[in-house]
Structure formats: structure tokens, C-alpha cells
A and B are shown apart, each in its own frame.
Chain A
Amino acid sequence: MIIASKLQPENAIERKTVAAGDYSLNLIKAGQVVRIVDLEGNQAADTLFYNANNPSERYSATDTLREQGNLYLTAGSQLRSNDNNVMLEIVADTCGRHDTIGGACATESNTVRYDLEKRCMHACRDSWMLAIAEHPEYGIAKRDISHNINFFMNVPVTPEGGLTFEDGISAPGKYVELQAKMDIVMLVSNCPQLNNPCNGYNPTAIEWLAWDA
């Protein structure tokens, strides 16, 4: 569902660019709104969310999919935790569909998906691991790294049970906007994947903006 936002970038309380292959770790207060912009198109933003006051409560793809009865995320989707609480809601979306079953790239899964020699290549889970190692103050550990959302990514499932990774339906400047329903730690890996059409074999920067409630 395409819903444009009325929020203006000049009113944002924070605005930054996250380079391809970098992570972004942010604290978002309940009520605040965050926007991720796909600056150049076809990028994937691999995102995890935690309850800032108790990180063992975190985003759960299974709870989210089950409660909304649908595989894809877009405006109106409520993002649920492993305790089945609503953590955030997608309040604007100019892309129309985001994936949450494809998971994130890891050096280990790259060996299986592409080639045993791809282990050396930078992957989203490396970015998350560095983020949690560099920020022990959030109390997040590897056991908390679970299924994620791939904003801007297109992973269609067929009625026969097939699964494909397709060229993105995103384009330069498309964005998704989320409003926090509780205090949230948001961990984004701006995907460095070079082997997959999800970012057109050329990872690019995203923009991150936040507004007060």
C-alpha cells in the first residue's frame, strides 16, 4: 500500500547517511517516527528492533506474519515482538512491499548460497556483530540476533511454495516510515551483498531520518 508521508526532512531531529556495508544503531523513543530512504534504489536495509528496556524482547518475523496473516510488509503493518506485542507500525511507504522471510546475508550462509570461497566477503551479520561488540551499553548479544526485516527487498513466494529473489521494486528516493510504539533500539545493516540482485550487485547508501512525536 503506497502512502506518502507529510513529514518534512527540514523538521527532522536527526538525519544521517549510512554508507553501503555500514551499520546504524539508534535509540528511538515511543512515538518518534523514523524514515529509511533508498537513495539510489535496489538497496536492502536489513533491520532488527529491540525493546530498549529489555532487549530479549525483539522483533519477530513469525509473530508479525502470523498476526497480520500476510507475508509482506507495507503501510499498516504492525511489527510484533517475540512476546507478540506491537513494537512499531509502518505509517508511510512509497515502495509498497518489504520482505521479512529472506533473512540476512552472513559469511557462513554465503558459502552455501554462492561458493565456499565467498566466506571472506562482507555480510550483514558481520555488521550486526560489530555493532553489538562496539555498543555493549545496549546489552545485545549474538543470541538476540534473530530474523530481520529486509526493507526494499522483494522475495516473492508462489502459491506452489517456490521462493525467488527478484530485482527490487524499489527505486531512487523511495522510503519507508515507522512509528515506535515502545522505546526501541533499531539496528540496521545497510547490506553489502555483492552476489544478489537484491541490491543490483552494487550496494549503495541509505538515508536515516527521525522526527519527534
Chain B
Amino acid sequence: MTPYTTTLQSGGHWSLRVRRGLQMTLTDISGNGNLGMLFYNPENLLERYNAPDTLKCQHTFKLTQGHCLYSDMGRIFASITGDTVGWHETVCGNSHASHISEKWGARDYQNDRNQWHQNGNDAFLVELAKYGLGRADMAANINFFSKVTSNEQGDLRLAEGNSPVGSQITLRFEMDTLVLLHSCPHPLNTASHYPRHEIGIALSTAAPVTKDDECKNACAENQRGFANNALYHLGIDSLSMGASR
């Protein structure tokens, strides 16, 4: 396919159905950006991204290249096939309107039009509603480009300068996925002004998964995750995908 590119403006949100076999490359155009993301199975909206399973399956607290992003049904929505950043977090959730107004003032649409201060929670609620979903369906999301560390006591801290201008992460989709995303500030961001950043999105065809694939072979858990996906696609493979995947 001809690659499709677009830009998510500051405080923006979007959703799209991504077919299996596509890859999505996200670019932090302005630097120190944040991209909230959630995944759902468009054939069964009750199947969704599961942050705890993703972390514990791979014995990791951070997400980076080589990791797979799991659903609650033991399947893999997407693999992280490229990453120039090294650490993305999935435990801090979204900013709410109250956080934004407390930190940076409540700039509303009536006065500020699209320069208002949108928050991640409302951004996801807007996108969820388009598919008949609501706040009960909002799972723990990923915050791409944001690094949150924990010390031994468990204190959480958002790292500064984690994502230089032009940082990129590439996701290869292993099943058809409804993707929800927003470019609102990370909820732990303490910048003096409402952080504005643009995120570039490019969609293209991914290279086929080979036997020596980095994500599939990162651990025995991921091999079993891919086996669960293969079971899910049994029959579909022989009909439409051939032997390439």
C-alpha cells in the first residue's frame, strides 16, 4: 500500500481500525510528547488492551522494542518492532479535566477554540462513544514517549527529556485492532505551560513476520502469544493471507 501519513495536533484525539499486517510509525515531532493509546478487538469490543498482562507476561515495567502488547484474551494486538526512545509507560493513565485546570488553568473551547486545554480522559471518552463504548470500557492505557520510573519505595517520577525531537516508535499489528489515541499531556507532567506537541502517524504495510522475528522470539511467553494469535486466525490464513504470515 501507499503509506498514509497524518499529524495529530496538540491535544488531539483520533481512532481508526488498523488491519492485521499493517505497521504504524509514531513520530514525536516537537519532542517530549505524549501519546495515549488504547486497543480493542473490533470483532469483540470486550477484548481490549491489558496492561497488567502485558507487563507480567514479559517481566517488564517499561515498554520498548521487542515487546508485545497483549489483550485480556492472551492475544497480541501489536508488536513493538522499532523504538528510538527505550522506555514507554502504561500505568499512570490519563489526565482528567481537574488536573489540567489545576495545573494550567481551564482554557475552554468557548474562549480559546482549538487552543483550549483538552485532557486525556475526555479525549478517550469521545472516541469510545463512537463505538458504543463508555467509561466502564476504558482500560489502563499506554503513554508512548513518556518514561515513569519507580524507586525501591515505589515512588513514581516522570523522567524529563525522555523523548528528543524526531523520536519514533513502530507498531506492527498482529490482529485487526481498533486503535484509540490522543496527544494530551502526560498526567504527571509539571511543565509551567500546558505542553503542546504534535505526533506524526504513518501507516504502511509491515514486512512479514519471519521465523527469527525479534518480538516473537523475545521470550517463550511471546511465542505462546503468537501461537494464540495463530489459533485465532486459523482458517482466515488459508482463505486470505496465504502462507506468508
Tell whether A and B belong to one assembly.
yes
A82 to B155, CA, bound (A): 21
Task: For A113, give its contact among B137, B151, B221 (CB under 8 Å).
Answer: B221
- CB atoms of A63 and B150 under 8 A apart: no
B8 close to A (CB within 8 Å): no
Specify which of B51, B57, B93, B134 is in contact with A112 (CB 8 Å cutoff).
B57
Chain B residue total in the interface (Cβ 8 A): 48
Can you list, as one digit per residue, whether each of A136-151 has a CB less than 8 Å from chain B (1) or not (0)?
0000001110110000
Q: Which of B70, B138, B139, B150 has the most CB of A within 10 A?
A: B150
Known contacts A56-B135, A143-B137, A158-B61; A102/B52 CB under 8 A: yes
A33 to chain B, nearest CB (A): 25
Contact of B55 among A72, A101, A143 (CB under 8 A): A101
Instruction: Check B62–A161 contact: CB distance below 8 A.
Output: yes
Contact A70 B59 (CB under 8 A): no
Interface of A is mostly: loop
Q: Does B3 contact A (CB under 8 A)?
A: no
A78 to B62, CA, bound (A): 25
Q: Would you call A53 an interface residue if the criterion is a C-beta within 8 Å of the partner chain's C-beta atoms?
A: no
Please state if A159 and B150 are interface contacts (CB–CB under 8 Å): yes
Residue from B59, B98, B140, B221 within 8 A of A163 (CB atoms)? B59
Report chain A residues within 8 Å CB of B57.
Answer: 109, 112-113
Contact A116 B138 (CB under 8 A): no
A side interface size, CB within 8 A: 47
**Interface status of B91 (Cβ within 8 A of chain A):** yes
Q: Scoring B residues 124 to 162 as 1 if CB is less than 8 Å from chain A, else 0, what string do you get? A: 000000000111111111000000011111111000000
Which one of A62, A63, A155 has the greatest number of beta carbons of chain B within 10 Å?
A: A62
Contact B153 A62 (CB under 8 A): no
Q: List the one stretch of B16-24, B174-182, B222-230 in contact with chain A.
A: B222-230
- Which of A4-46 touch B at CB < 8 Å? none
A112 touching B224 by the CB < 8 A rule?
yes
Contact A163 B55, CB 8 Å, known A65-B91, A83-B135, A142-B46: yes
Instruction: Write out the residue numbers on chain A whose beta carbons fall within 8 Å of the beta carbon of B153.
Output: 70, 72
Smallest CB separation, B61 vs chain A (Å) = 5
Is B53's CB within 8 Å of the partner chain A?
yes
Return A71 CB to nearest CB of chain B, in Å.
4
Q: Are A62 and B91 in contact (CB under 8 A)?
A: yes
A83, B135: Cα distance in complex, Å: 9
Shortest C-beta distance, B210 to chain A (Å), equals 21
Q: A113-B221, A116-B224 are in contact. Are A60 and B93 (CB under 8 A)?
A: yes
A72 CA to B150 CA in the complex, in Å?
A: 10
Which residues of A have CB within 8 Å of B52?
Answer: 61, 101-104, 147
The answer to whether A69 and B150 touch across the interface, beta carbons within 8 angstroms, is no
A-B contact pairs, 14 of them (CB 8 A): A60-B93, A61-B91, A62-B141, A65-B92, A71-B155, A101-B51, A110-B74, A116-B227, A142-B46, A143-B46, A144-B136, A146-B136, A147-B52, A163-B55
* Residues in chain A within 8 A of chain B (CB atoms): 55-58, 60-63, 65-66, 69-72, 82-84, 97, 101-104, 106, 108-113, 115-116, 125, 142-144, 146-147, 155-159, 161-165
- Going nearest first, the 10 A-B pairs with the smallest beta carbon separation are A103-B52, A62-B93, A108-B74, A161-B62, A71-B154, A56-B136, A72-B154, A157-B150, A157-B61, A70-B154
Q: Which residues of B contact A (CB under 8 A)?
A: 46, 50-53, 55-57, 59-62, 70, 72-75, 87, 91-94, 96, 98, 133-141, 149-156, 187-188, 221, 224-225, 227-228
